[in-house]
Amino acid sequence: MTFANPAYLFLLILLVPLIAAYIWKLRRSQASMEMSSSEAFDVKGITTAKVHLRHLPFVLRMVAIALVIVILARPQSTDSWQNSSTEGIDIMMAMDISGSMLARDLRPDRLTAAKNVAASFINGRPNDNIGLVVFSGESFTQCPLTTDHAVLLNLFKDIQSGMIEDGTAIGVGLANAVSRIKDSQAKSKVIILLTDGSNNRGEIAPVTAAEIARTFGIRVYTIGVGTQGEAPYPFRLPGGTIQMQMVPVDIDEPTLQQIASITGGQYFRATNNSSLKSIYAEIDKMEKTKISVREFSKKQEEYTRIALVVLGLLLIEWLLRITILKRIP
């Protein structure tokens, strides 16, 4: 509860001198008489209603005055509510699952690290439509755009290298992602393309796919995953033994930079787990979800009920004075 005129509440201080004056007057009005013994007047159990109620009218009047002061301060109750609308972003994730993604320059390997960081990114954007495209020698849609992120995350867990023919068809993977997001009605459409190699398969050139994305107003953020120089890669030997060998890291950074430049996105290089996390955090900051909040409030005067209480108190005081506490002239 709030008050429209809270300054009036200071008038409650006036009750103090009124109470003090009542007590002083009460003491002066009490008569005294000296007697040798008061045994004749000590009758146990005899207390009239007047003895108990004689101060009640004054108490009722003080409470009534206090409530009148509260009424002058205009007590008000406020009902407030808000309407919020969320304008999400549509994000298509295109992830390389070729054999080279098993290299262990990221822990435990590039593919697993990329899946874990992407899952954290998805969990941090509950209001967005997010989908997943995977590519290797060819591409397919693992999950179309959806706000059911639980389903998306479960499908993310199923990704593994070797699901499709090996190779790196960056252009095909990007074109597939574009086809899945181009008809979206969202004001902001984004593709996050992650790869660790160079385009060596597919009939669509990466730059051509980027031009198509720009036509539909889609921004593409490209991420090159892999350390500088050489990276340890697991080779399976006859008999099932795994042997680590160092292989050159071949990321076509100029093409990835060109894709990002054409579409108005940005290129990033992830050389370890922490840098990959930082990249997704940076993209998360750049692509913010728009949330509009409208607040409403309604104030209602509450003095009516208090005024009824005041009238009730004054009525009780009047009834007491004409009945139980009636004075005989």
pLDDT at 57 over 90: no
Q: What is the pLDDT of residue 46?
A: 42
Structural domain count, the chain: 2
CB-CB neighbours of 186 under 10 Å: 15
Query: Range with the lowest mean pLDDT among 2-16, 42-56, 182-196?
Result: 42-56
CB 169 within 8 Å of CB 133: no
Query: What is the residue whose two structure tokens read 């399976």?
Result: 236
- As a whole number of angstroms, the distance between CA 124 and CA 21 comes to 68
Query: Range with the lowest mean pLDDT among 189-193, 220-224, 293-297, 306-310?
Result: 293-297
Q: What is the pLDDT of residue 315?
A: 87
CB 231 within 8 Å of CB 249: yes
pLDDT at 49 over 60: no
Query: Is residue 96, in this structure, part of any structural domain at all?
Result: yes
Query: Is residue 31, in this structure, part of any structural domain at all?
Result: no
Same domain, 196 and 227: yes
Same domain, 129 and 194: yes
Condensed to tens digits (0 to 9), the pLDDT of residues 66-87 reads 999 888 888 888 776 666 666 7
CATH number of residue 276's parent domain: 3.40.50.410
Same domain, 198 and 309: no
Same domain, 256 and 112: yes
Query: Is residue 239, in this structure, part of any structural domain at all?
Result: yes
pLDDT at 296 over 80: no
CB 297 within 8 Å of CB 80: yes
Same domain, 258 and 313: no
Same domain, 162 and 283: yes
Q: What is the pLDDT of residue 236?
A: 87
Range of the domain at 311: 2-25+48-80+298-322
Query: Is residue 263, in this structure, part of any structural domain at all?
Result: yes
Condensed to tens digits (0 to 9), the pLDDT of residues 95-138 reads 999 999 999 999 999 999 999 999 999 999 988 999 999 999 99
Q: What is the pLDDT of residue 30?
A: 60
pLDDT at 35 over 60: no
CB 306 within 8 Å of CB 67: yes
Work out the average pLDDT over 147-172. 94
Work out the average pLDDT over 255-278. 96
CB-CB neighbours of 93 under 10 Å: 24
Q: What is the pLDDT of residue 81?
A: 66
Query: Is residue 247, in this structure, part of any structural domain at all?
Result: yes
Same domain, 10 and 110: no
Query: Is residue 37, in this structure, part of any structural domain at all?
Result: no
Same domain, 130 and 221: yes
Same domain, 127 and 148: yes
Q: What is the pLDDT of residue 185?
A: 87
First to last CA, the chain: 47
Q: What is the pLDDT of residue 101?
A: 96
Q: What is the pLDDT of residue 45?
A: 45
Average per-residue pLDDT for the chain: 87
305 versus 166: the higher-pLDDT residue is 166
Same domain, 164 and 306: no
Query: Is residue 329, in this structure, part of any structural domain at all?
Result: no
Percent of the chain exceeding pLDDT 90 equals 55
Query: Is residue 293, in this structure, part of any structural domain at all?
Result: no
122: left (phi over 0), alpha (psi -120 to 50) or beta: alpha
Q: What is the pLDDT of residue 33?
A: 52
CB 144 within 8 Å of CB 116: no
Q: What is the pLDDT of residue 37?
A: 54
Query: Range with the lowest mean pLDDT among 86-95, 117-126, 153-162?
Result: 86-95
Same domain, 240 and 96: yes
Q: What is the pLDDT of residue 329?
A: 57
128-153: string of b/e by CB count within 10 Å (b at 16+)?
bbbbbbbbbbbbeebbebeeebeebb
Longest dimension (CA), the chain: 127
pLDDT at 252 over 80: yes
Same domain, 7 and 145: no
